[in-house]
Amino acid sequence: MSIDLGNTRENFKSLQPDIVHLTSVVYFFQGCLGIVGIALPLFLRNMGFSVSKIAYFTSIMTVPWLFKIIYGSISDAYPIRGKRRKPYLLFYAVAASLGWLLLSCVPAKWWWLLLAALIAQLGFAGTDVVTDGIVVEHSDEKTTQIYQSIAWGARSVGALLTGVMGGYLAAHLPYRVIFAVMGCLPLIILIAVLNYQENVCKDLARRDGFLSSLVKSFKLLFTIRDLGLFCIILFISTLSGMFVVPLFFYLKETLGFSELFLGSLSSITWGGAIVGCFLYLKFLNHLPLKKALYLAFGIGVVSIISCLAIRSQLSSIMIYFMGGVLGYIGILPLMSTAAKLSHKTGVEGSLFAILMSVHNIGVSSSGILGGWLFKWVSIEQLILMSAAMTCAGFFVIARLKTVQ
């Protein structure tokens, strides 16, 4: 016991304070997007947009997250005045701030609002991937998990706090004022960036490596059978996103939940996710990956169908908490399988990033599909359709050969 404690203390001592500060601030403010989580869809609704059109909007605005590998690769390949990270972090932090500030003042027209939202999401996606690059550069076997724990913990704290806060603000402030408040928060990231001391790099020979890594990664996707199948699995796993926006407005407009309660549900979901993380690591981490994937899709279907039981505040609290628990238990096997399939390919980083982009494409596409279907079906039918389509994942998992 004392040896392990001593090793842990030594590992913490080896962390770089400016990296810890930067990582904590960036990921905390990613979690703080909950401040606008209630205000944005309600604002769009007040502007006269249909539920389907709001689903399109919130899905399309996540498009910048699909290209994270591009932002990271540009940062690697094209230093600015000899620095790969700091100038890009400054740019993306300003972009995130600018996007939300624009949302607070642009005309209430579809394209103006979407442009502002895309700029905001570009900023957050860029700060995410560049910060990841800094962590990778300055970590080793002893500190990697600690840095990742700091990042995930900071994001969780931000999401827990701002879920309830976002609901409260949506009930008491004009929506555009909330966007302006959100626009000020990324500016705090600038302080952490300015405190980060980056050395001038002398090795500029990464441009050819970037292109060759991308080419090899895409070749592997089309030549290795299990990688192609896993892309399908990742896409199917996101189909629960089909009914997220319609369910939000069902809770608000049909069940009459207040803004504060809707924000509280967001925080409750994140609380469940933290519990799910501990449960998985404690009891399920030993499962073979293929069985874990079956489990992930099984609990995913159960979690989707359980949404049919939401009829009151009490039932919604129970279902959202369990959704957070089950959702996190379900996502970990997918991430582990992605890491396993990327291992020893020679392009681990690029391939893993592409697989995560496939997942993000699924998230955006499912929201758009759900918004389109909601024009003709009820929320109950949409939930059942999502569950039925998610079941297709079982058949694809069965065809995996190298994942056992």
Shortest CA distance to 290 belongs to which of 336, 345, 352? Answer: 336
CB atoms within 10 A of CB 109: 10
- Give the pLDDT score at 351: 82
Name 54's bridge partners. Answer: none
Report the distance separating Cα 242 and Cα 265, nearest Å.
19
Residues in Cβ contact with 18 at an 8 Å cutoff, skipping those fewer than 6 apart: 195, 196, 197
The widest CA-to-CA distance across the chain, in whole angstroms, is: 63
Give the length of the chain: 404
Instruction: Note the pTM of the prediction, 2 decimals.
Output: 0.88
In 3-state terms, what secondary structure has residue 222? helix
Domains and CATH numbers, the chain: 1-202 (1.20.1250.20), 205-404 (1.20.1250.20)
Mean pLDDT of each 10-residue bin along the chain, 404 residues long: 47 69 86 92 94 95 88 78 84 94 94 96 89 73 66 82 93 95 89 78 58 79 90 94 95 96 94 84 81 92 95 96 89 82 73 84 94 95 96 95 74
Tokens representing 360?
């993000």
Using only C-alpha atoms, what is the Rg of the chain?
Answer: 21
Name 80's bridge partners. Answer: 83
In 3-state terms, what secondary structure has residue 61? coil
Report the distance separating Cα 35 and Cα 52, nearest Å.
23
- Give the pLDDT score at 10: 56
Tokens representing 29?
């403010």
User: Backbone phi, then psi, for 83, in 5-degree steps?
Assistant: -120, 130
- Give the pLDDT score at 2: 38
**Angle of helix 86-103 versus helix 68-77 axis, rounded to 10:** 140
Q: How far is CA 252 from CA 8, 57, 278, 324, 372, in A?
A: 47, 18, 32, 20, 20
User: Backbone phi, then psi, for 80, in 5-degree steps?
Assistant: -110, 115
- Give the pLDDT score at 260: 95
